[in-house]
Chain A
Amino acid sequence: MGNLTPELEAERVKILKFAKDAGLDFFETIFELITYDQINQFAAFGGFPVRYPHWRFGMEYEHLSKSYEYGLSKIYEMVINTDPCYAYLMEGNMHMDQKLVMAHVYGHCDFFKNNVWFSPTNRKMMDAMANHSTRIRRYMDRYGYDVVESFVDTCLSLENLIDRYSPYSQKSIEQKAEAPRDASFLLRYDREYMRNYINPKSFVEEQKKRTAEADLKKDKFPSESQKDVLKFLIDYAPMADWQVDVLSIIRDESYYFAPQGMTKTMNEGWASYWHTKLMTEKILTDSEVIDYADHHSGTVAMSPQSYNPYKVGIELFRDIEDRWNKGRYGRAWEECDDVRERKNWDKKLGEGRAKIFEVRKIYNDVTFIDEFLTEDFCIRNKLFVYKFNQKTGKFEVDTRDFRAIKAKLLFHMTNFGQPIIRVEDANFENRGEMLLVHTWEGIDMQPDFLTETLKNVFTIWRRPVVLATVMDNEQMLYRFDGQEIKTHKVGGQEKSST
């Protein structure tokens, strides 16, 4: 049960009690005190003590340790979403920092346990990761280190092609049975003379057309386009058993980490909200106030060209609490135009605390921003949208328009800032080629990465792959046939390159 020093253990017991009293609810949380090298190592492994062998973790480790050794950054805390929760404190941090981290961690643990978007995650991921590691090592022993590692590289290249929302919807069992053919779409009529009234001609025509379309779809494979590209490849691509297993591992881990991306702002905001609350109201001693203020402000500092989830999150939670305490919501509030009345609006409802607990349970970043980001909030926090100016070669402030800010934030959060790509057709042009379609939303993909990734899809699909996207306002098809990349304007000329 941890290895804290007696002083820290005493603090932990105190903070645990404060957190519980405040209404936080979490799995048992185990704190470990580790050295900076260990924390870098764990962080490189995504918080876990064991991962499958891959150079990517080594790279992460090098970045973290160099940043630490050169004094550029250091990790204060790390916590992983498991049951029990494991959290790490760094040896040699100030006593105040350790307390701050503990309070912050309890916030995260509460969020992990209660936020509905984390509910499908595997809470025994520690074991699962160790298991993945063993499996991949076994394949490496059997098939060769380089072979397996290269395949892992290929899989990682496609790692983001998952359907982030799929774990939350129970898909109804696919309708396998053939629907009865003729006239089954006719609505029931009891008397013959009612027939044409209940099923008028136009309705019958429409239904016929619909049936015909459904028949057409049946010929297509997959019949519905698939957002979970990895799943599709696992099910249908011609791979060896070990390759299927490796790809499944990558996909599982991708899904495990997905909710952390989907709730980054909320999660950090929630934890920061609670560490400030607990620290300032209960935990801090007088001599620690200055250091605390210094470190806290560093955490929530925002700069012109970066979005700080800690800051936006904590401010939004505070804003929500304040609004629900004062009853600043609902129709009467929205429709009130009187500046003075709005300023003094306070119905003394005191619903704030209950509201933020509800919010942390059922929202994710997208719905959180969509519902609670207000114009007042943007003005108060001086938010703006910036964009790249081609002429000056610099990022510039674009606008402070509320709708633009919100749209930008939401856009970045939807699908976690990744392009949405679906498997549209696995028998494209009737040649067993795979057609992927990028749902273009105003931003082009990076062309060099696009072609390289396409090659990796080919490696797994083993038949030519085609990607439909938009590049410089032109509908484009990129095709890789194992030899060269051909780009093809829809309805235009073909160009090729390798």
Chain B
Amino acid sequence: MSIKEDHNRFRDIIKGKIKDNLKKYVSQGEMIGKREKDYVKIPLPSIDIPTFRYGPKQKGGVGQGEGKPGDAADGEQGQGKGQAGSDPGEHMMEAEFTVEELAEILGEKLELPNIQPKGNKQIDSTKTKYSGLAPVGPEGLRHFKSVYKRALQRYISSGTYNPENPVIIPIRKDFRYRTFKTITKPMVKAVVIYMMDVSGSMGEEQKEIVRLESFWINAWLRKHYKGLETRFIIHDAAAKEVDENTFFRTSESGGTLISSAYKLCMEMIQNDYPPHEWNIYPFHFSDGDNWSGEDTRLCIRLLKEFFMPHTNVFCYGQVESKYGSGQFLKDLQKEFPADERILLSQIENRDGILDSIKHFLGKGK
């Protein structure tokens, strides 16, 4: 069918394989959503051919509903049947999803394998669950409703039930008691520890990239681990733990000692997350500038001695910035050329986010 040709052509343009001149009209950001309450809006990629048109903000229009002048006229687009026509699309195509749905789509798109929790490190939790009824049991667990039902059944089937005088008296045979089972469930616990370099060389754009990437990583890991914990560490020359908000907003100046973050992270794991019980995912983002070669060697030692044996994977994402030398990544690459447990990725710009996520999570660990 000829639509397939057009469709492929469109996909190729979106991916930037052909026609650079159109690239600037592409409203990209297929996987970059803005959060609104529980939903995330994902703009579908589209190319807007420029035409002479009115600016959007001044437009306004006619709506319907309650409200006084000055009230917000929010609301979703009404759904309607579409008639084929020459309507120019005035609204950016947006689709709304829950975070979980998004994780699905992300996984499908990047062909991410499901995560295999570390096998020998599961602990079993036991839980009791009321699951059935038995003819004997303690009075405290008597199930009134079924006792009554059985008695009523007995009355009706024996023909002694009198609707005028509906008195039901259960006998021994009618009594039922709740029984419980003990279930052992493998419990999987997981923690993600984000570390970010907030030294002067990390700009707004770099942090935005980290924010987006960590959002998607969270979405994916949440899908696999119920009750995923997240911790945040920022560092320049010294590291400290912060909450999520601060994590993305802080900007410090000053030097960078990456080992400070690694040390804090190590302490965190040692104190709170015994590695035999927890799946541990440390992510570190920086622009790759470290204070000294000596500190880098310390980092490598920590990675080798602590993180490699104790975490599922250790991911390092290097965000390109004008100021960073990017040396840290090169050093790590030299040290861990193809290690499954130390994953390294370079994120040049927003378009690199997806590739980087795929690299980090594509191993299914």
Contacts and interface: CB of A to CB of B under 8 A. Distances in A.
Nearest to B48: A449
Contact of A306 (B63, B70, B72, B93): B63
A399 B65 contact: no
Contacts of B6: 44, 53-58, 61
B5 to A, nearest CB: 6
B64 A381 contact: yes
Contacts, number: 255
A394 B67 CA distance: 14
B163 interface: no
Given A59-B46, A146-B19, A446-B54, A304 B64 contact: yes
Contacts of B13: 55
Interface in A297-323: 298-299, 301-308, 310-311
A159 interface: yes
Contact of B69 (A67, A305, A399): A399
Pick the most buried of B71, B83, B95: most chain A CB atoms within 10 A of its CB. Answer: B83
A449 B44 contact: no
A302 B84 contact: no
A488 interface: no
B69 A446 contact: no
Query: DSSP majority for the B interface?
Result: loop
A236 interface: no
B162 interface: no
A456 B63 contact: no
B2 A304 contact: no
Interface string B60-79: 11111111111111111111
A446 B49 contact: no
A426 interface: no
Interface residues of A, number: 99
B138 interface: no
Contacts of B85: 46, 257, 260-261, 264
Contacts of B249: none
Contacts of A452: 25, 50
Contact of B52 (A50, A399, A421): A421
Contacts of B44: 62-63, 66
Contacts of B294: none
Interface stretch (A76-84, A202-210, A215-223): A76-84
B58 interface: yes
Interface stretch (A181-189, A385-393, A479-487): A385-393
A230 to B, nearest CB: 12
Contacts of B48: 449
B67 A444 contact: no
Contacts of B10: 55-56, 58-59, 61-62
Interface in B29-60: 44, 46-60
Given A75-B81, A260-B86, A310-B80, A41 B3 contact: yes
Contact of A304 (B53, B67, B83, B84): B67
Interface in A357-403: 381-388, 390, 392, 394-400
B211 interface: no
B63 A307 contact: yes
Nearest to B81: A76
Interface stretch (A16-24, A167-175, A405-413): A405-413
Given A61-B7, A452-B50, 9 more contacts: A56-B10, A56-B49, A66-B95, A150-B21, A267-B83, A268-B83, A383-B64, A421-B52, A438-B52
Interface of A: 41-47, 50-51, 53-59, 61-63, 66-67, 70, 72-73, 75-80, 104, 108, 146, 149-150, 153, 156-161, 254, 257-258, 260-261, 264, 267-268, 298-299, 301-308, 310-311, 381-388, 390, 392, 394-400, 405, 408-409, 412, 417-419, 421, 438, 443-450, 452-453, 456
18 contacts: A58-B11, A73-B82, A261-B85, A264-B85, A298-B79, A303-B77, A305-B73, A306-B63, A308-B64, A310-B80, A311-B64, A382-B65, A386-B62, A386-B73, A396-B69, A397-B67, A412-B62, A419-B52
- Nearest 10 interchain pairs by C-beta: A257-B86, A58-B6, A58-B10, A47-B84, A452-B50, A387-B60, A58-B7, A304-B75, A386-B73, A302-B64
